[in-house]
Amino acid sequence: MSFQKRGKSASQRAMSTTGYAYAFLLILQTILIGVNAENRLQQGDSPIEVLMWMINQCIPVLKQASSLQEKHKKSLLPKHRRSEDQ
C-alpha cells in the first residue's frame, strides 16, 4: 500500500498543521481584542465607542481569516485547476 493511499501527503499534513496554528493565533487575537475592550469599558469609555473600536479591530482579523481560507481552498484543488485559476 503506497503512502498516498493511506492518508494525507506530507504537504497536506503540514498545511493542516499550519492552518491550525493560524486559526489559534486568530482566536488569540480576537480574545485579546475582547480583553482590551473590557479594559476600555472599565476606564470609562462609552459602550458605543468600545463597540466601534472592536469592529475596527476585528475587520483585519476577518480579512486574514478569509485570506487563509481562500489559500487553503486553492491548495486543495488539483494542480491543473490551480493553474487555471491564476
**Does 50 map to a domain?**
yes
How many C-beta atoms surround the C-beta of residue 72 within 10 A? 14
**Does 12 map to a domain?**
no
Q: Is the backbone of residue 61 left (phi > 0), alpha (psi -120 to 50) or beta?
A: alpha
Summarised one tens digit per residue, pLDDT across range 32-47 is 999 999 999 999 999 9
**Does 43 map to a domain?**
yes
Give phi and psi for 23, each to the nearest 5.
-60, -45
Residue type, 81: R
**Total tally of structural domains belonging to the chain:** 1
Rounded to an integer, what is the distance from CA 11 to the centroid of its chain? 19
Record the pTM.
Answer: 0.63
**Does 1 map to a domain?**
no
**Does 15 map to a domain?**
no
CA distance 6 to 11: 14
**Does 61 map to a domain?**
yes
**Does 9 map to a domain?**
no
Summarised one tens digit per residue, pLDDT across range 38-84 is 999 999 999 999 999 999 999 998 898 888 888 878 877 776 655 55
Question: Could you tell me the residue range of the domain that residue 60 belongs to?
Answer: 29-76
